[in-house]
Amino acid sequence: MTITEPGSAKDTEAPDTDAPPIPSATPGRRPSPAALAKPKPGAARPGPQPAAPAAPVPVTVVPASDPHRFGRVDADGTVWLITSSGERNIGSWQAGDAEAAFTHFGRRFDDLHTEVVLLEQRLVAGTGDARKVRSAASALAETLPTAHVLGDVDSLAARLAAVIEQADVASQQEKARREELRAELTARKEALAAEAEELAAHSEQWKAAGDRMRAILDEWKTITGLDRKTDDALWKRYSAARETFNRRRGSHFAELDRERAGARKAKEALCVRAEELCDSTDWGPTAATFRDLLTEWKAAGRAAKDVDDALWRRFKGAQDKFFSARNAATAERDAEFRANAQAKEALLAEAERLDTSDVDAARTALRAIADKWEAIGKVPRERGADLERRLRAVEKKVRDAPTGGVDPEAQARADQFRERAEQFERQAEKAAAAGRTKDAEQARASAEQWRQWADAAAEALGRKKN
């Protein structure tokens, strides 16, 4: 395909990259559902919770406009866009007829139209940062005067102007909402800090409390947008509570250490088994055994981090050694099979050139080729059927070739005709000797007919032989 646009290199069918990327919703602007969870009794309660973000409005993409109404294609392939300000040359189409040009540049316009629809719907749904929507709309509007598309560009320009105006209004509204949200987020972090202090002072449910402490930290990280001074003060409260809790659960770690010792012992045994298998060349069963060992590894639990990491490196080293050797063997086998396929291709070329006019010589040569064929060995699975089919075709061609250049069926037919003629001649002689004149005449007539057929068959056989 050849599509040349003014001032640019050859175009391709790739989507137009001149348009700016469509902004996505800004993370961290609203708290997650977990951040709005009800605090425990006694903890500080935040004020009214902000509404969850509106769900994105589904985009139904339809053709934005008929490219034939907004453009034309000259006989030499020059493509023109028609706008309210006049015509503009957008490219030279050399990849097909004019209708293909309309389709190509119309599809590009539809892509621009879809981006405008997305920006409009983001404003309506309130799912994106209005400032980023405005920036994207402005950047997209700047591309319209030079866009290589066929469609209602004037309509897109007007709609983008409306998006920019609406985005300015939405930006002001978003600013007010951010201030309100900042106050709500401060209240939520105060509630989380109070809950952490309660857990640190009184909880003895170590697993549940530890999980909740981590969940508080995870939720804490999702709450952004506070001023630095307020955030630091609240963080100090939470951090102090976490340190108190960690000191109180020291006895709990003693039990964890015993569990880790058991995991270490189990994983050391798995490492030994893996190292015993790493030099195996029984590829299939050994690979299955390694999968079973990995399942056992995951079920063994975790040892201390440094120990667990060292054991994993040891186990994975044995595993990698085996699979690297298997992959190398597979690659070597595949290379051998490809070489075998090339050798058989050469034999096929030799076999397909055999001259069947000398059947005996052709059969002798084909037997030699078949012996070499069998000695070569296996080929890639996807090539085997086709190569064998071609060899069978050559074998059939040689097998069906007439011996000595004469069709055996035609020769047999001519011989049969002569034998019948001779039979009737003998019958005529016997009938004449017995005085049966009428029978003798009929036998002679039949003999003459079969003799004519035999001569015709012999003549045809001679012409075919020549």
pLDDT at 1: 40
DSSP class of residue 126 equals: T
* pLDDT for res 64: 58
Segment 177-217, tens digit of pLDDT:
878 888 888 999 999 999 999 999 888 788 899 899 999 99
Residues in contact with 303: Cβ distance below 8 Å, sequence separation at least 6, in sequence order: 260, 261, 263, 264, 267, 311
**pLDDT exceeds 70 at position 94:** yes
Lowest average pLDDT, out of 14-23, 132-141, 392-401, goes to: 14-23
- Look at residue 151 and tell me whether its pLDDT is greater than 70: yes
Which of 212, 236, 252 lies at the terminal end of a domain, its last residue? Answer: 252
Judgement on whether residues 427 and 438 belong to the same structural domain of the protein: yes
Express each pLDDT in 36-46 by its tens digit.
333 343 343 44
Specify which of 223-227, 231-235, 258-262 reaches the highest per-range mean pLDDT: 231-235
The pLDDT confidence band at residue 105, using thresholds 50, 70 and 90, is very high
Say if residue 139's pLDDT is above 50.
Answer: yes
Q: DSSP string covering 393-451, please?
A: HHHHHHHHSPGGGS-HHHHHHHHHHHHHHHHHHHHHHHHHHTT-HHHHHHHHHHHHHHH
- Mean pLDDT value of segment 402-424: 72
Asked if residues 146 and 81 have their Cβ atoms less than 8 Å apart, the reply is: no
Give dist(CA 356, CA 369) in Å, integer.
15
Cα distance between residue 240 and residue 250, in whole Å: 16
Confidence of residue 410 (pLDDT cuts 50, 70, 90): low
Whether pLDDT at 8 is above 70: no
- Please check whether residue 123 is in contact with residue 170, taking contact to mean a CB–CB distance below 8 angstroms: yes
Element (H, E) at 71: strand 71-73
Last residue of a domain, one of 252, 274, 299: 252
DSSP string covering 260-328? HHHHHHHHHHHHHHHHHHTT---HHHHHHHHHHHHHHHHHT----HHHHHHHHHHHHHHHHHHHHHHHH
Q: Are residues 276 and 242 in the same domain?
A: no
Amino acid 198: pLDDT: 92
Picking from 301, 224, 213, 318, the residue whose alpha carbon sits closest to that of residue 265 is 301
pTM of the model: 0.33
The number of folded domains in the chain is 4
Is a pLDDT exceeding 60 seen at residue 67? yes
Distance CA 305, CA 257 (A): 11
Q: Looking at the structure, tell me whether residues 204 and 169 fall in a common domain.
A: no
Say yes or no: 118 and 215 in one domain: no
Asked whether residue 325 falls in the same domain as residue 265, the answer is: yes
Does 23 share its domain with 92?
yes
DSSP state of 48: S
| 3-state class percentages of the chain: helix first, strand second, coil last, to nearest 5 | 70, 5, 25
Q: Using the predicted structure, report yes or no on whether residue 277 has a pLDDT greater than 60.
A: yes
The pLDDT value given to residue 217: 94
Average pLDDT over residues 278-305: 89
Rounded CA gap, 147 and 6, in Å?
11
The domain containing residue 417 runs over which residues? 408-465
Percentage, residues of the chain above pLDDT 90: 28
Closest to 131 (Cα-Cα) out of 232, 23, 36, 35: 23
Q: Do 161 and 186 reside in the same domain of the chain?
A: no
Residue 93 neighbours by CB distance under 10 Å: 25
- Rounded CA-CA distance 457/466 in Å is 14
The residue that leads in pLDDT, 338 or 23, is 338
pLDDT band at 409 (very low <50, low <70, confident <90, very high): low
Same domain, 281 and 213: no
Across-strand partners of 80?
72, 89
Cα-trace Rg, the chain: 45
User: What pLDDT does 96 receive?
Assistant: 85
Query: Is the same domain home to 304 and 376?
Result: yes
Out of 145, 180, 215, pick the residue that ends a domain: 180
Asked if residue 213 lies in contact with residue 196, where contact means CB atoms within 8 angstroms, the answer is yes
Mean pLDDT of the chain: 80
pLDDT of 411 above 80: no
Whether the pLDDT of residue 414 is over 60: the answer is: yes
**Pseudo-torsion of CA 393, 398, 399, 403, nearest 10°?**
160
Q: Rounded to whole angstroms, how far apart are CA atoms 351 and 373?
A: 11
Do 112 and 159 belong together in one domain? yes
Confidence band of 70 (pLDDT split at 50, 70, 90): very high
Each residue of 325-372: pLDDT tens digit?
A: 888 888 888 888 888 888 888 888 888 888 777 777 888 888 888 888
Cα 126 to Cα 173: distance, rounded to the nearest angstrom: 11
Q: Based on the domain organization, do 311 and 354 belong to the same domain?
A: yes
Same domain, 219 and 366: no
Q: Hunting for tokens 């981590």 — which residue is that? A: 214
